Amino acid sequence: MLSRKWRNIALLTSCQVLAMTLWFSGSAIIPGLRQEMILSDGQAAAMASAVSFGFVAGTLTSAFFTLVDRVRPQHLFMLASLTAAAANLATLVIDPVGPWMTVLRFVVGVCMAGIYPVGMVLVSSWTEKDRGLLVGLLVAALTLGSGAPHLIDLFGGLDWRFTIVASSALAAVAGLLCLLFEPGRPFGKAAAFKPGQMLQALTDPALRLANFGYFGHMIELYAVWAWIGLFLASSLAVYPATENAPELAKLLAFTMIGSGAVGSIAGGLLADRIGRTWLTIGAMTISGTCCLLAGFAFGMPTYILVILCVVWGISIVADSAQFSASVIELSPPEYVGTMVTTQTCIGFMLTIATIHAVPFLVDWLGWSGAFVPLAAGPFLGVLAMAKLRAMPDSVRLAHGRR
């Protein structure tokens, strides 16, 4: 029988999986929309990046007004999930290729700031010496939820309306279930958001390097997640022996994103044992290499794409939670809230640029070369984390394991 701790962790991760289906529901329905109407690459990119932009705005607003202090976290999670589900469902009553689609995706992104970061607050009430593992579990839930819309779209017969309804329903269920979560210990008062201290994230040498590692990671991650479905569909379309290419592309997209759950959990376990810098260096080296090799896999047999999707999917997110953990461990206790907010906001602002860059890279280089420039992100991140490891301050990471 599960202990009280693990029952609540299981409940929370389930809520995260269900609620996070909203994040990429807009990206998952792009092929279906294109079968019914004209949807340009610019409009598709706006649908994807609006969520990131909304998340940045929501995170800053939540931090500025210290909402987690003012509203019980479980209630904030519920309100955010229900509001996001309503905004997502409203897609059915507007023109999906009109400007309101971008507005609704922005609202979904704003609400995500009341789901994923709040989940971190909730899980922190149970952390002891297993921070890497528990944060990794939460990122695994985020990853599964992010990939789920592709699977939902497949089960719904590639009907984009089914995907919208199903993801909205799942998010609403998540919001209600979260009310059952019991914290392991009372929530401590979060550090006040101090905009003037945000510069410390870039002026403090150790924090700067940890953040640069995260920024490199983010340059690749969300652009790949946003466009991997179309990359796979295009690749399968040019390989003549492939049957049911649209359905197979959805399954592979879910495999790629969803396999990151394995990477997140394994990354959390390893980081607590071998250190955060080694884990992040290894993960970014592998994912950056996959970024370079993706072009060679384009148009190749399905088994090549499967290998790429699994290896890339595991490595691209294995390090994600460890950057947050690193900033928490390197920050002065009174500024943890500000430092984590700064890291998250800058990272997601970078994703807006890279998501919009991919269609231009496709026009310029084709799908065989579109992901190659993104590899600069993880490789620069490797350099940053290697420099951080060499600094005396790195002993504060992972209980001295750097």
Structure tokens at 17: 């999986």
User: Considering the chain, what is the average pLDDT of its residues?
Assistant: 84
Share of the chain above pLDDT 90, in %: 29
Q: pTM (2 decimals)?
A: 0.82
pLDDT: is 143 or 217 the higher one?
217
Q: Note the pLDDT of residue 157.
A: 62
Span 194-402: which CATH code?
Answer: 1.20.1250.20
Residues in Cβ contact with 292 at an 8 Å cutoff, skipping those fewer than 6 apart: 371, 372, 375
Q: Note the pLDDT of residue 356.
A: 87
Q: Is 129 a residue whose pLDDT tops 70?
A: no
pLDDT digits (tens, 9 = 90+) for 96-120: 777 888 899 999 999 988 888 788 7
CA distance 339 to 334: 10
Q: For residue 364, with 0-12 CB atoms within 10 Å meaning exposed, 13-18 middle and 19 or more buried, which class applies?
A: exposed
Q: How far is CA 304 from CA 172, 234, 236, 246, 369, in A?
A: 38, 15, 11, 17, 17
Q: For residue 188, with 0-12 CB atoms within 10 Å meaning exposed, 13-18 middle and 19 or more buried, which class applies?
A: exposed
- Using the 8-state DSSP alphabet, how is residue 125 labeled? T
Superfamily grouping for domain 1-179: MFS general substrate transporter like domains (1.20.1250.20)
- Spans of all domains in the chain: 1-179, 194-402
Main-chain phi, psi angles of 193, to 5 degrees: -75, 120
pLDDT digits (tens, 9 = 90+) for 291-348: 999 989 998 888 999 999 999 999 998 888 888 888 878 877 766 667 777 788 888 8
Residues in Cβ contact with 118 at an 8 Å cutoff, skipping those fewer than 6 apart: 68, 73, 76, 77, 80
Residues in Cβ contact with 375 at an 8 Å cutoff, skipping those fewer than 6 apart: 220, 288, 289, 291, 292
Q: How far is CA 293 from CA 35, 200, 215, 312, 371, in A?
A: 30, 37, 21, 10, 9
- Using the 8-state DSSP alphabet, how is residue 187 labeled? P
Q: Is 131 a residue whose pLDDT tops 90?
A: no
pLDDT digits (tens, 9 = 90+) for 25-49: 877 777 777 777 777 777 878 887 8
277 falls in which pLDDT band (50, 70, 90)? confident
Q: Note the pLDDT of residue 293.
A: 93
Q: Note the pLDDT of residue 220.
A: 94
161 falls in which pLDDT band (50, 70, 90)? confident
Q: Is 172 a residue whose pLDDT tops 90?
A: yes
Contact yes or no for 10/138 (Cβ under 8 A): no
CA distance 233 to 253: 9
CB half-sphere exposure, 363, CA atoms < 13 A: 8
CA distance 313 to 326: 22
Start-end of H helices in 20-98: 25-28, 30-36, 41-64, 67-70, 73-89
Instruction: Say if 1-179 and 194-402 have the same CATH topology.
Output: yes
